[in-house]
């Protein structure tokens, strides 16, 4: 059983933590491996949850989970952009990884687009299933 809300919250916290680590003047020699591992973990995890949510169309609160995943993906893209664009104090230490970071950013942007589409479709489906026709309403109100 997957605990979507807790898992997505944890991924969101990991993105914020990575952002905080990169925002400080830490020594890249100590943290480069950790940052690289976190980037890969976040990339694969966000993609995995997107696939799960795409497949489980009958999941209760699916739209809420899609919103959480979309928000976390946006935050992760922001971290990747700042890392790639020297937006962090020691970003230059990650310059040799520039092409990999750029590829991750591109993949996450594609994922974000897919999530936005899934969310839009999910909201339309929810609206369609919640509609009650005038005849049905009249029938329900009869005593």
pLDDT tens-digit profile of 88-124? 999 999 989 999 999 999 999 999 999 999 999 887 6
**CB of 108 closer than 8 Å to CB of 43:** yes
- pLDDT tens digits, one per residue of 8-33: 999 999 999 999 999 999 998 899 99
**CB of 77 closer than 8 Å to CB of 108:** yes
Show the DSSP H helices in 1-143 as ranges: 4-23, 28-55, 62-84, 98-129, 134-141
**CB of 14 closer than 8 Å to CB of 38:** yes
Supply the range of the domain harboring residue 72: 4-141
Q: Which residues contact 82 (CB under 8 A, 6 or more apart)?
A: 19, 22, 88, 91
The answer to whether the pTM exceeds 0.95 is: no
**CB of 69 closer than 8 Å to CB of 9:** no
**4-23 vs 28-55: helix crossing angle, rounded to 10:** 150
Position 137 confidence tier, pLDDT thresholds 50, 70, 90: low
For the chain, the domain total comes to 1
Q: Which residues contact 89 (CB under 8 A, 6 or more apart)?
A: 23, 24, 25
Q: Any idea how long the chain is?
A: 143
CA–CA separation, 130 vs 136, rounded Å? 12
CA–CA separation, 65 vs 83, rounded Å? 27
Res 44: pLDDT = 98
């Amino acid at each position: 059983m997957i605990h979507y809300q807790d898992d997505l919250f944890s991924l969101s916290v990991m993105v914020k933590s990575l952002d905080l680590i990169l925002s400080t003047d830490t020594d890249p020699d100590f943290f480069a491996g950790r940052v690289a591992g976190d980037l890969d973990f976040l990339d694969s995890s966000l993609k995995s949850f997107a696939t799960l949510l795409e497949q489980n169309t009958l999941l209760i609160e699916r739209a809420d989970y899609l919103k959480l995943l979309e928000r976390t993906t946006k935050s992760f893209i922001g971290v990747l952009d700042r890392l790639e664009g020297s937006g962090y104090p020691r970003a230059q230490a990650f310059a040799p990884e520039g092409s990999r970071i750029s590829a991750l950013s591109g993949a996450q942007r594609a994922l974000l687009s897919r999530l936005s589409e899934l969310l839009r479709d999910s909201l339309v489906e929810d609206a369609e299933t919640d509609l009650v026709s005038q005849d049905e309403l009249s029938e329900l109100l009869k005593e």
